[in-house]
Amino acid sequence: MGRYIVRRLLWTVLVVVLVTLLTFVIFFVLPKGDPATRFAGKSPTPELIQEVKESLGLDKSVPEQYGLFLKRLVTGDEYGWPGLGKSFQNKQPVRPELIQRAQVTITLIIGGALLWLAIGIPVGVISALRRGSVLDRVSMGTALFFVSAPVFWLGLLSLYVFWKQLGWLPGTGYVSFGASPGTWFSHMLLPWMVLALLFAAIYARVVRGNMIDVMTEDYIRTARAKGLSERRVVMKHELRTGITPVITLLAIDLGVLVGGTIVTETVFNLQGLGNWLLIAAQNNDLPVTLAVTVLVAAAVSILSLVADILYAVLDPRVRYQ
Protein backbone atom coordinates (compact mmCIF):
# COMPACT_ATOMS: atom_id res chain seq x y z
CA MET A 1 0.00 0.00 0.00
CA GLY A 2 2.76 2.42 0.98
CA ARG A 3 4.65 1.87 -2.23
CA TYR A 4 1.47 2.21 -4.20
CA ILE A 5 0.75 5.58 -2.61
CA VAL A 6 4.26 6.82 -3.28
CA ARG A 7 3.98 5.73 -6.87
CA ARG A 8 0.68 7.50 -7.24
CA LEU A 9 2.03 10.67 -5.68
CA LEU A 10 4.88 10.63 -8.16
CA TRP A 11 2.32 10.20 -10.89
CA THR A 12 0.52 13.26 -9.52
CA VAL A 13 3.69 15.29 -9.80
CA LEU A 14 4.13 14.10 -13.35
CA VAL A 15 0.57 15.03 -14.21
CA VAL A 16 1.04 18.53 -12.82
CA VAL A 17 4.22 18.97 -14.83
CA LEU A 18 2.63 17.70 -18.02
CA VAL A 19 -0.50 19.76 -17.58
CA THR A 20 1.46 22.95 -17.00
CA LEU A 21 3.64 22.12 -19.98
CA LEU A 22 0.55 21.73 -22.12
CA THR A 23 -0.77 25.01 -20.77
CA PHE A 24 2.44 26.67 -21.81
CA VAL A 25 2.21 25.23 -25.28
CA ILE A 26 -1.42 26.18 -25.79
CA PHE A 27 -1.08 29.69 -24.48
CA PHE A 28 2.40 30.52 -25.70
CA VAL A 29 3.39 28.45 -28.67
CA LEU A 30 0.09 27.98 -30.42
CA PRO A 31 -1.12 31.58 -30.64
CA LYS A 32 0.63 33.77 -33.09
CA GLY A 33 1.29 37.03 -31.40
CA ASP A 34 3.07 38.87 -28.70
CA PRO A 35 1.35 38.80 -25.31
CA ALA A 36 3.54 41.61 -24.04
CA THR A 37 1.70 44.02 -26.33
CA ARG A 38 -1.43 43.43 -24.28
CA PHE A 39 0.19 44.80 -21.20
CA ALA A 40 1.98 47.72 -22.75
CA GLY A 41 -0.65 50.40 -22.88
CA LYS A 42 -2.78 51.57 -25.74
CA SER A 43 -0.08 52.90 -27.98
CA PRO A 44 3.13 51.11 -27.11
CA THR A 45 6.50 51.91 -28.54
CA PRO A 46 8.90 49.08 -29.36
CA GLU A 47 11.00 50.09 -26.35
CA LEU A 48 7.99 49.90 -24.06
CA ILE A 49 7.06 46.47 -25.38
CA GLN A 50 10.60 45.39 -24.62
CA GLU A 51 10.35 46.80 -21.09
CA VAL A 52 7.11 44.95 -20.53
CA LYS A 53 8.64 41.75 -21.84
CA GLU A 54 11.50 42.06 -19.42
CA SER A 55 9.29 42.92 -16.50
CA LEU A 56 7.04 39.94 -17.21
CA GLY A 57 9.90 37.61 -18.01
CA LEU A 58 8.65 37.19 -21.55
CA ASP A 59 11.99 38.14 -23.06
CA LYS A 60 13.33 34.67 -22.39
CA SER A 61 12.75 31.65 -24.60
CA VAL A 62 9.68 29.55 -23.89
CA PRO A 63 11.62 26.54 -22.54
CA GLU A 64 13.58 28.89 -20.33
CA GLN A 65 10.38 30.50 -19.05
CA TYR A 66 8.93 27.11 -18.34
CA GLY A 67 12.04 26.03 -16.48
CA LEU A 68 11.91 29.18 -14.43
CA PHE A 69 8.27 28.62 -13.64
CA LEU A 70 8.96 25.09 -12.39
CA LYS A 71 11.92 26.25 -10.39
CA ARG A 72 9.94 28.98 -8.68
CA LEU A 73 7.08 26.60 -8.07
CA VAL A 74 9.38 24.22 -6.23
CA THR A 75 11.65 26.67 -4.44
CA GLY A 76 9.20 29.49 -3.83
CA ASP A 77 9.59 33.16 -4.66
CA GLU A 78 9.48 36.48 -2.82
CA TYR A 79 5.80 35.98 -2.10
CA GLY A 80 6.25 32.60 -0.43
CA TRP A 81 5.89 28.96 -1.37
CA PRO A 82 4.86 27.71 -3.81
CA GLY A 83 6.18 30.47 -6.03
CA LEU A 84 3.40 31.57 -8.33
CA GLY A 85 4.61 35.01 -9.30
CA LYS A 86 2.63 38.15 -10.03
CA SER A 87 -0.43 38.57 -12.17
CA PHE A 88 0.29 40.15 -15.56
CA GLN A 89 -3.01 41.92 -15.35
CA ASN A 90 -3.27 43.57 -11.96
CA LYS A 91 0.41 43.24 -10.99
CA GLN A 92 -0.49 41.72 -7.64
CA PRO A 93 1.06 38.55 -6.22
CA VAL A 94 -0.94 35.50 -7.29
CA ARG A 95 -0.62 33.47 -4.10
CA PRO A 96 -2.78 35.52 -1.70
CA GLU A 97 -5.52 35.90 -4.26
CA LEU A 98 -5.38 32.20 -5.07
CA ILE A 99 -5.97 31.43 -1.42
CA GLN A 100 -8.76 33.94 -1.18
CA ARG A 101 -10.51 32.63 -4.26
CA ALA A 102 -9.95 29.01 -3.34
CA GLN A 103 -11.97 29.71 -0.22
CA VAL A 104 -14.90 30.86 -2.29
CA THR A 105 -14.76 27.84 -4.55
CA ILE A 106 -14.33 25.44 -1.65
CA THR A 107 -17.27 27.04 0.13
CA LEU A 108 -19.34 26.47 -2.98
CA ILE A 109 -18.24 22.88 -3.41
CA ILE A 110 -18.50 21.78 0.22
CA GLY A 111 -21.88 23.38 0.77
CA GLY A 112 -23.11 21.92 -2.50
CA ALA A 113 -21.74 18.50 -1.64
CA LEU A 114 -23.46 18.39 1.74
CA LEU A 115 -26.68 19.31 0.07
CA TRP A 116 -26.46 16.82 -2.76
CA LEU A 117 -25.49 13.97 -0.44
CA ALA A 118 -28.39 14.85 1.80
CA ILE A 119 -30.76 14.69 -1.14
CA GLY A 120 -29.17 12.16 -3.46
CA ILE A 121 -28.47 9.26 -1.10
CA PRO A 122 -31.90 8.96 0.55
CA VAL A 123 -33.66 9.37 -2.77
CA GLY A 124 -31.48 6.70 -4.34
CA VAL A 125 -31.91 4.28 -1.48
CA ILE A 126 -35.66 4.65 -1.29
CA SER A 127 -35.99 4.36 -5.05
CA ALA A 128 -34.02 1.15 -5.00
CA LEU A 129 -36.01 -0.34 -2.17
CA ARG A 130 -39.28 0.64 -3.82
CA ARG A 131 -38.13 -0.28 -7.26
CA GLY A 132 -40.81 0.23 -9.86
CA SER A 133 -43.09 2.18 -7.56
CA VAL A 134 -44.56 5.54 -8.44
CA LEU A 135 -42.14 7.10 -6.00
CA ASP A 136 -39.23 5.49 -7.79
CA ARG A 137 -40.44 6.63 -11.16
CA VAL A 138 -41.04 10.18 -10.06
CA SER A 139 -37.67 10.39 -8.32
CA MET A 140 -35.79 9.02 -11.25
CA GLY A 141 -37.71 11.20 -13.68
CA THR A 142 -36.85 14.26 -11.64
CA ALA A 143 -33.27 13.12 -11.45
CA LEU A 144 -33.07 12.77 -15.20
CA PHE A 145 -34.55 16.23 -15.56
CA PHE A 146 -31.83 17.81 -13.47
CA VAL A 147 -29.12 15.80 -15.15
CA SER A 148 -30.34 17.17 -18.47
CA ALA A 149 -30.78 20.81 -17.50
CA PRO A 150 -27.83 23.07 -18.27
CA VAL A 151 -26.49 24.57 -15.07
CA PHE A 152 -26.24 28.07 -16.49
CA TRP A 153 -29.85 27.98 -17.53
CA LEU A 154 -31.07 26.66 -14.19
CA GLY A 155 -28.98 29.35 -12.54
CA LEU A 156 -30.47 32.18 -14.58
CA LEU A 157 -33.93 30.78 -14.15
CA SER A 158 -33.56 30.52 -10.38
CA LEU A 159 -32.17 34.05 -10.23
CA TYR A 160 -35.10 35.28 -12.25
CA VAL A 161 -37.63 33.57 -10.02
CA PHE A 162 -36.14 33.84 -6.53
CA TRP A 163 -34.32 37.14 -6.87
CA LYS A 164 -36.07 39.26 -9.46
CA GLN A 165 -39.65 38.04 -9.22
CA LEU A 166 -40.15 36.83 -5.67
CA GLY A 167 -37.40 38.79 -4.00
CA TRP A 168 -36.76 35.99 -1.54
CA LEU A 169 -33.04 35.89 -2.04
CA PRO A 170 -30.43 38.51 -2.78
CA GLY A 171 -28.76 38.47 -6.15
CA THR A 172 -25.40 37.21 -7.12
CA GLY A 173 -21.92 37.86 -5.83
CA TYR A 174 -19.93 36.59 -2.89
CA VAL A 175 -20.01 38.04 0.60
CA SER A 176 -17.43 36.67 2.99
CA PHE A 177 -18.59 34.78 6.03
CA GLY A 178 -16.64 37.14 8.24
CA ALA A 179 -18.42 40.19 6.86
CA SER A 180 -21.89 38.87 7.62
CA PRO A 181 -22.77 35.19 8.11
CA GLY A 182 -26.40 35.78 7.24
CA THR A 183 -25.65 37.55 3.98
CA TRP A 184 -23.01 34.99 3.17
CA PHE A 185 -25.54 32.22 3.56
CA SER A 186 -28.25 33.92 1.56
CA HIS A 187 -25.83 34.61 -1.27
CA MET A 188 -24.57 31.04 -1.36
CA LEU A 189 -27.93 29.36 -1.14
CA LEU A 190 -28.87 29.55 -4.82
CA PRO A 191 -25.45 28.48 -6.13
CA TRP A 192 -25.44 25.57 -3.69
CA MET A 193 -28.90 24.55 -4.75
CA VAL A 194 -28.18 24.70 -8.45
CA LEU A 195 -24.92 22.81 -8.14
CA ALA A 196 -26.44 20.32 -5.73
CA LEU A 197 -29.48 19.57 -7.86
CA LEU A 198 -27.33 18.33 -10.71
CA PHE A 199 -25.20 16.17 -8.45
CA ALA A 200 -28.07 15.00 -6.29
CA ALA A 201 -29.66 13.71 -9.46
CA ILE A 202 -26.49 11.93 -10.47
CA TYR A 203 -25.94 10.48 -7.02
CA ALA A 204 -29.49 9.30 -6.67
CA ARG A 205 -29.15 7.41 -9.92
CA VAL A 206 -25.82 5.97 -8.86
CA VAL A 207 -26.97 4.91 -5.42
CA ARG A 208 -30.08 3.32 -6.82
CA GLY A 209 -28.08 1.43 -9.43
CA ASN A 210 -25.58 0.22 -6.86
CA MET A 211 -28.22 -0.88 -4.45
CA ILE A 212 -30.04 -2.83 -7.10
CA ASP A 213 -26.81 -4.46 -8.17
CA VAL A 214 -25.97 -5.40 -4.65
CA MET A 215 -29.40 -6.81 -3.92
CA THR A 216 -28.89 -9.46 -6.53
CA GLU A 217 -25.42 -10.46 -5.41
CA ASP A 218 -24.80 -13.90 -4.07
CA TYR A 219 -23.69 -12.93 -0.62
CA ILE A 220 -26.81 -10.94 -0.03
CA ARG A 221 -28.89 -13.89 -1.07
CA THR A 222 -26.77 -15.98 1.26
CA ALA A 223 -27.36 -13.56 4.09
CA ARG A 224 -31.07 -13.78 3.52
CA ALA A 225 -30.91 -17.52 3.26
CA LYS A 226 -29.08 -17.61 6.58
CA GLY A 227 -32.21 -16.10 8.04
CA LEU A 228 -30.97 -12.60 8.78
CA SER A 229 -33.80 -10.18 9.24
CA GLU A 230 -34.76 -8.08 6.23
CA ARG A 231 -33.91 -4.98 8.18
CA ARG A 232 -30.45 -6.28 8.95
CA VAL A 233 -29.85 -7.31 5.39
CA VAL A 234 -30.82 -3.91 4.15
CA MET A 235 -28.98 -1.89 6.73
CA LYS A 236 -25.88 -3.94 7.19
CA HIS A 237 -25.20 -5.27 3.74
CA GLU A 238 -27.14 -3.55 1.06
CA LEU A 239 -26.85 -0.01 2.30
CA ARG A 240 -23.25 -0.31 3.19
CA THR A 241 -22.20 -1.88 -0.05
CA GLY A 242 -24.49 0.27 -2.06
CA ILE A 243 -23.29 3.52 -0.63
CA THR A 244 -19.58 3.04 -0.21
CA PRO A 245 -18.83 3.64 -3.88
CA VAL A 246 -20.47 7.02 -3.40
CA ILE A 247 -17.72 8.01 -1.03
CA THR A 248 -15.05 7.36 -3.60
CA LEU A 249 -17.17 9.03 -6.22
CA LEU A 250 -17.43 12.04 -3.98
CA ALA A 251 -13.66 12.26 -3.65
CA ILE A 252 -13.29 12.33 -7.42
CA ASP A 253 -16.04 14.85 -7.89
CA LEU A 254 -14.66 17.21 -5.29
CA GLY A 255 -11.31 17.12 -7.05
CA VAL A 256 -12.77 17.80 -10.46
CA LEU A 257 -14.97 20.57 -9.15
CA VAL A 258 -12.03 22.57 -7.84
CA GLY A 259 -11.55 23.75 -11.39
CA GLY A 260 -14.95 22.77 -12.63
CA THR A 261 -17.30 25.40 -11.32
CA ILE A 262 -16.55 27.98 -13.98
CA VAL A 263 -20.11 28.20 -15.19
CA THR A 264 -21.73 28.31 -11.76
CA GLU A 265 -19.30 30.99 -10.67
CA THR A 266 -19.93 32.95 -13.84
CA VAL A 267 -23.69 32.84 -13.52
CA PHE A 268 -23.65 33.75 -9.84
CA ASN A 269 -20.72 36.16 -10.00
CA LEU A 270 -18.76 34.26 -7.40
CA GLN A 271 -15.16 35.36 -7.36
CA GLY A 272 -13.76 31.88 -7.15
CA LEU A 273 -11.11 29.93 -9.00
CA GLY A 274 -13.19 29.09 -12.03
CA ASN A 275 -14.20 32.64 -12.64
CA TRP A 276 -10.60 33.75 -12.24
CA LEU A 277 -9.34 31.09 -14.58
CA LEU A 278 -11.82 32.12 -17.23
CA ILE A 279 -10.77 35.75 -17.09
CA ALA A 280 -7.08 34.95 -16.91
CA ALA A 281 -7.14 32.42 -19.72
CA GLN A 282 -9.08 34.74 -21.99
CA ASN A 283 -6.61 37.51 -21.47
CA ASN A 284 -3.39 35.58 -21.32
CA ASP A 285 -2.65 36.33 -17.70
CA LEU A 286 -0.28 33.41 -17.72
CA PRO A 287 0.85 33.34 -14.08
CA VAL A 288 -2.76 33.21 -12.92
CA THR A 289 -3.70 30.61 -15.52
CA LEU A 290 -0.79 28.43 -14.50
CA ALA A 291 -1.40 28.81 -10.78
CA VAL A 292 -5.01 27.71 -11.05
CA THR A 293 -4.07 24.93 -13.43
CA VAL A 294 -1.49 23.58 -10.99
CA LEU A 295 -4.00 23.63 -8.19
CA VAL A 296 -6.71 21.96 -10.24
CA ALA A 297 -4.48 19.25 -11.66
CA ALA A 298 -3.08 18.49 -8.22
CA ALA A 299 -6.54 18.41 -6.67
CA VAL A 300 -7.85 16.02 -9.31
CA SER A 301 -4.90 13.66 -9.02
CA ILE A 302 -4.68 13.65 -5.25
CA LEU A 303 -8.38 13.21 -4.68
CA SER A 304 -8.54 10.41 -7.22
CA LEU A 305 -5.76 8.73 -5.25
CA VAL A 306 -7.83 9.22 -2.13
CA ALA A 307 -10.76 7.71 -3.97
CA ASP A 308 -8.76 4.63 -4.89
CA ILE A 309 -7.53 4.13 -1.36
CA LEU A 310 -11.01 4.58 0.08
CA TYR A 311 -12.31 2.17 -2.47
CA ALA A 312 -9.88 -0.53 -1.45
CA VAL A 313 -10.51 0.07 2.22
CA LEU A 314 -14.28 0.31 2.13
CA ASP A 315 -15.65 -1.99 -0.49
CA PRO A 316 -16.36 -5.37 1.03
CA ARG A 317 -16.36 -7.02 -2.35
CA VAL A 318 -12.76 -5.96 -2.72
CA ARG A 319 -11.89 -7.15 0.74
CA TYR A 320 -13.65 -10.47 0.44
CA GLN A 321 -11.46 -11.46 -2.44
Partner 1 sequence: MRPRKMGTWALFGALVLAGSLGLAACGGDDSGDSDTNGGDNGAAAAKGGIYRVGTTDFGFNGGFDPSGEYLGWAWDLYSNLLTRQLTGYRHTEGAAGVELVPDVAESIPEPTDNGTTWTFTLKKGVMFGPPVNREVTSKDYVTAFERIGTESVVAQYGFYYSDIVGMKEFKEGTSKTISGITTPDDHTIVFKTTKPIGDFGYRLAMPATGPMPAEVTDCFTKAGEYGRYVISSGPYMIKGSDKLDATSCKTMKPISGFNPTKQLSMVRNPNYDAATDSTEQREALPDGFEFIINTNQKDIFDKIEAGEYEDSVDAVPPDVARRYSTDDALKDRLKSFTDDSTNYIYMNLGEAPFDDVNVRKAVNFVMDKDALRRAWGGPLYGEIGTHIAPPTLYPGSTEFDGYDPYASENNAGDLAKAQEAMKASAYDTDKDGSCDAGSCSGVLFLNRSIDPFVKMSPVIRESLAKIGIKVQVRELPTGPAYETSGNVSNRIQIGANARWGKDYPDASTFMVLFDGRNILATGNSNYALTGMTAAQAKEFKVPYPKGGVPTVDADIDTCAAAIGDERAACWVALDKKLMEEVVPWVPYMFGKNTDLLGPAVTKWDFDQFSGEAAYAHVAVDPSKQK
Partner 2 sequence: MTGHIRPFPPDDPRGGPHAHPCTHEPGRTALTTAPVTGGEEPIGIEPATVPGVQARTPWQLFLMRFRRDRLAMASLVFIGLLVVLAFAAPLIAGISGHDPNQLFRQMTDDFGLPKGPNGSFWFGADASGRDVLVRIAYGTRVSLIVGVVATSVAVVIGVTLGLIAGYRGGILDTLISRTADIVLSLPLLLFAIGIVTACGSSREGCFGGAVKPGLMLVIIVIALFSWPYVAKIVRGAVLSLREREFVEASRSVGAGDLTIMFREILPNLISVIIVYASLLVPQNILFEAYLSFLGLGVPDSTPSWGRMISDASGIFDVAWWLMLFPGIFLLLTVLAFNLLGDGLRDALDPKADR
Mark out the alpha helices in the chain (DSSP H runs): 2-24, 46-56, 62-75, 94-129, 134-148, 151-158, 181-215, 218-225, 230-232, 240-258, 262-268, 273-282, 286-314, 316-320
**CB of 112 closer than 8 Å to CB of 195:** yes
The residues that touch partner 1, with contacts defined as CB under 8 A, are: 31-46, 48-49, 51-52, 54-55, 86, 89-92, 97, 100, 170-174, 266, 269-271, 278-279, 282-284
Q: Considering CB distances under 5 to 8 angstroms, the limit depending on partner class, which of partner 1, partner 2, none binds residue 81?
A: none
Quick one: which segment of 36-44, 60-68, 81-89, 151-159 binds partner 2 (CB under 8 A)?
151-159
Q: Considering CB distances under 5 to 8 angstroms, the limit depending on partner class, which of partner 2, partner 1, none binds residue 253?
A: partner 2
Q: Which of 200, 209, 208, 213 lies closest to 143 in space, CA to CA? A: 200
CA-to-CA distance for 124 and 121, rounded, in angstroms? Answer: 5
Please state the closest distance from residue 111 (CB atom) to partner 1, in A. 19
Q: Could you give the angle at which helices 94-129 and 240-258 cross, rounded to 10 degrees?
A: 150
DSSP state of 227: T
- Shorter beta-carbon distance to partner 1: residue 132 or 178: 178
CA-to-CA distance for 236 and 227, rounded, in angstroms? Answer: 14
Q: Could you give the angle at which helices 181-215 and 151-158 cross, rounded to 10 degrees?
A: 140
- Shorter beta-carbon distance to partner 1: residue 34 or 64: 34
CA-to-CA distance for 246 and 252, rounded, in angstroms? Answer: 10
Out of 42, 167, 182, 282, the residue judged to bind partner 2 by CB under 8 A? 282
Q: Is 103 helix (H, G, I), strand (E, B) or coil?
A: helix
Residues 19-58 that bind partner 2 (CB under 8 A): 19, 22-23, 26-27, 30-33
Residues 296-315 that bind partner 2 (CB under 8 A): 296-297, 300-301, 304, 307-308, 311
- Shorter beta-carbon distance to partner 1: residue 211 or 295: 295
Q: Which of 143, 89, 132 lies closest to 276 in space, CA to CA? A: 89
Out of 267, 270, 288, 291, the residue judged to bind partner 2 by CB under 8 A? 267
Q: Considering CB distances under 5 to 8 angstroms, the limit depending on partner class, which of partner 1, partner 2, none binds residue 279?
A: partner 1
Residues 181-210 that bind partner 2 (CB under 8 A): 195, 198-199, 201-203, 205-206, 208-210
Does residue 170 touch partner 2 according to CB under 8 A? no
Please state the closest distance from residue 185 (CB atom) to partner 1, in A. 16
Q: Considering CB distances under 5 to 8 angstroms, the limit depending on partner class, which of partner 1, partner 2, none binds residue 257?
A: partner 2
